[in-house]
Structure 1
């Protein structure tokens, strides 16, 4: 898991180094998601990287009936991860990333529930790892790592520390990290 998370950190480093224009102008999450996916793709050779991808071969990624997770379509069935690292034709789903801007006022619980569902080992399309990343103008504000359908506390702490050491943690005006 640490290898994949290190690759995500490398993609975030390149993203923050190259995309100041977008961040300073407060562009939308979809724009930022696409640009981050470009850098993620450079890190995961041999894998496909897609945004808002809801398929596996011909099948649509649908949540189990009765799931508490809200979905992203009007029928309440399909789920669209922001960025995925996967193989499109076979159930080999490595990484799902949910991206948020730090000024997003929608409840974070939607993204957290989505990552729990995407990494749930009981669904046929489960991703090995899920990561929630909150983007600030100058760095990552909040991050969480998911595996096995739940937050992975030790991996989340490790990932946050690696972000901090890499200079990717956003600081507030008083110099404190958040």
Structure 2
């Protein structure tokens, strides 16, 4: 898993080096997510990298309606991942990333619930790794790594340390 997370760090390094404009102009999270996905795609050759992907192989991704996490879009509770690193046809789900701007003051719970659900081994074809990234114009201000439906504390600490070592994380 550290190999994949190091690829995320490389993508973040490129993203911050080339996309400062997005934060200067205070664009929305979807634009930031898309541009991050462009950089992430360069790190994961042989994998598809998609934003808001709503399929599991040939099937549409459906989870219970009316819950905190669902595919009930008109309630604004979509489970679709911000960024998915996967193989579409099989399906083989490697990594899902939820991205938030540091200026977004809504509670983190929705993104955290999504990552727990998307990495839950009881869901068909769960993602192997889930990652929550909170970004400001220069750093990752907060991150969490999810494995098997839970925050993996050891991997989260390792990832935060790697971000700090590369100048992308805020020192605690």
For the criterion TM > 0.5, the same-fold answer is: yes
Mapped contact 2:65–2:71 kept (Cα < 8 A): no
Deviation per residue, 1:117-157 (Å, 9 max, x gap): 00000000300000000011111000000000000000000
The 1:78–1:168 alpha-carbon spacing in structure 2 relative to 1, beyond 3 Å, is: closer
The 1:47–1:102 alpha-carbon spacing in structure 2 relative to 1, beyond 3 Å, is: same
Gaps of 5+ in 1: 171-176
Deviation per residue, 1:15-66 (Å, 9 max, x gap): 0000111122211101000000000000000000000001123211122578
The 1:78–1:139 alpha-carbon spacing in structure 2 relative to 1, beyond 3 Å, is: closer
State how far apart, in whole Å, the 2-side matches of 1:122 and 1:91 are: 15
Q: Which residue of 1 aligns with 2:130?
A: 130
State how far apart, in whole Å, the 2-side matches of 1:98 and 1:76 are: 15
In the alignment, is residue 63 of structure 1 matched against residue 57 of structure 2?
no
Q: What are the within-5 Å matches in structure 2 for residues 1-178 of structure 1?
A: 1-64=1-64, 68-69=68-69, 71=71, 73-74=73-74, 79-170=79-170, 177=171
**RMSD, matched Cα:** 1.9
State how far apart, in whole Å, the 2-side matches of 1:134 and 1:169 are: 10
Gaps of 5+ in 2: none
State how far apart, in whole Å, the 2-side matches of 1:165 and 1:151 are: 22
Mapped contact 2:66–2:72 kept (Cα < 8 A): no
State how far apart, in whole Å, the 1-side matches of 2:66 and 2:72 are: 15
Mapped contact 1:62–1:78 kept (Cα < 8 A): no
Equivalent position SS for 1:74: helix
Q: Return 117-126 or 54-63, whichever deviates more.
A: 54-63
Equivalent position SS for 2:128: strand
| TM-score for both structures, normalised by structure 1 | 0.90
State how far apart, in whole Å, the 2-side matches of 1:143 and 1:78 are: 21
State how far apart, in whole Å, the 2-side matches of 1:77 and 1:97 are: 16
